[in-house]
Structure 1
Amino acid sequence: MDFALFGIFLLACCAAGATGAVFQPGQWYRELNKPSWTPPDWAFPVAWTSIYLLISFAGMRVALQDGNAYAMAFWAAQAGFSTLWTPVFFGLRRMKGALLVMVPLWLSVAGATWTHLQVDFWAGLAFVPYLAWVSVAAALNASVWRLNPGVDPIVPSEL
């Protein structure tokens, strides 16, 4: 295991995850109507920590392999869309907009899962929990948007 390379991928994940520290759910999110199957609050940091460790492992393994171009491109794409979703949903409170970000996020995670599997079985397998989590997150985003039709987004000039 190349710990330096793993650390670089983990640092990229932490940078993406930093949006969660900047744009926290807070009281606004707690007051929203949510479906009964919403994961408990403690599940989110546990899930994201596990996912970041797994996809850092996956990125490290695939970065060392020949034929990794598409896998690395999908790895980068999922990091970008993941970074974008949090400020759109929690920062701007644009639930529909966040759902629109969720589409390319889900596609990039699915693409990363598939292309990592093509290059390295264990790297692809490491993306499976992320694909499951982003699928739940997409359904949750859609449900929260549907259950809260009167919630006004924040206008950037009000920030």
Structure 2
Amino acid sequence: MFWILFLIFLGACFAAGSTGGLFPPGEWYRKLDKPSWTPPDWVFPVTWTTLYICMATAGARAALAPDSSIAMALWSLQIALNGLWTPVFFGLKRLKLGLIVLSALWLSVAATLLALWQVDWIAGALFVPYLVWVSIAGALNASVLRRNPDKA
């Protein structure tokens, strides 16, 4: 049963992640003034693949646990917001709205981490790298917004 659930959660993750292919960064993003600590392009697919495996594992573990309805609802919310950010930031080129979505994503990831931890501490721990990465993404989004006020 775990592996079936894992594949379902992984499918949800890669569905959210597919927006990166639908709305690639492109020339617009390359021309933005970005901070020196911006990760190189190759880091993003490697990081997201790793995070999606962790997120799917956490979701599958928690789904098998009793009393996981709040954790599952929050997991659903965070993956929806995860899939929304790319079209807003890269598709619509809305830096400020992207930061708002990313802030909501950060809050939902933090809440999901806490809810998962209460259900299954390993599932909660699997969300820690995700929260770190969303924190970095939020700082990067905020920095790009600050450095490119004419694009906001």
TM-score by length of 1: 0.93
Q: Which residue of 2 aligns with 1:107?
A: 107
Q: Which residue of 1 aligns with 2:138?
A: 138
Instruction: State the 1:111 CA deviation.
Output: 0.6
The one-letter amino acid of 2:24's match is Q
CA distance in 2, matches of 1:4, 1:130: 22
Instruction: State the 1:63 CA deviation.
Output: 0.2
The one-letter amino acid of 2:114's match is W
The one-letter amino acid of 2:128's match is V
Matched, 1:11 2:17: no
Q: Which residue of 2 aligns with 1:89?
A: 89
- Render the CA deviation track for 1:60-91: whole Å, top value 9, x for unaligned: 00000111011101100100101111000000
Map 1:56-95 to 2 at 5 A. 56-95=56-95
Map 1:118-129 to 2 at 5 A. 118-129=118-129
2:2 and 2:64 in contact (8 A); partners too? no
The one-letter amino acid of 1:38's match is T
- Render the CA deviation track for 1:38-70: whole Å, top value 9, x for unaligned: 111111001100000000000000000111011
SS in 1 for 2:24: coil
The one-letter amino acid of 1:3's match is W
- Render the CA deviation track for 1:11-58: whole Å, top value 9, x for unaligned: 000110111110000111111100111111111001100000000000
Instruction: State the 1:149 CA deviation.
Output: 1.0
Instruction: State the 1:92 CA deviation.
Output: 0.4
Q: How many residues align?
A: 152
SS in 1 for 2:149: coil
TM-score by length of 2: 0.97
Q: Which residue of 2 aligns with 1:157?
A: none
The one-letter amino acid of 1:139's match is A
Instruction: State the 1:104 CA deviation.
Output: 1.1
Q: CA RMSD in A?
A: 1.0
SS in 2 for 1:150: helix
Q: Percent identity?
A: 57
CA distance in 1, matches of 2:60, 2:46: 21
2:89 and 2:98 in contact (8 A); partners too? yes
Q: Which residue of 2 aligns with 1:43?
A: 43
**Unaligned segments of structure 1, at least 5 residues:** 153-159
- Render the CA deviation track for 1:108-129: whole Å, top value 9, x for unaligned: 0001111111110110000000
**Unaligned segments of structure 2, at least 5 residues:** none
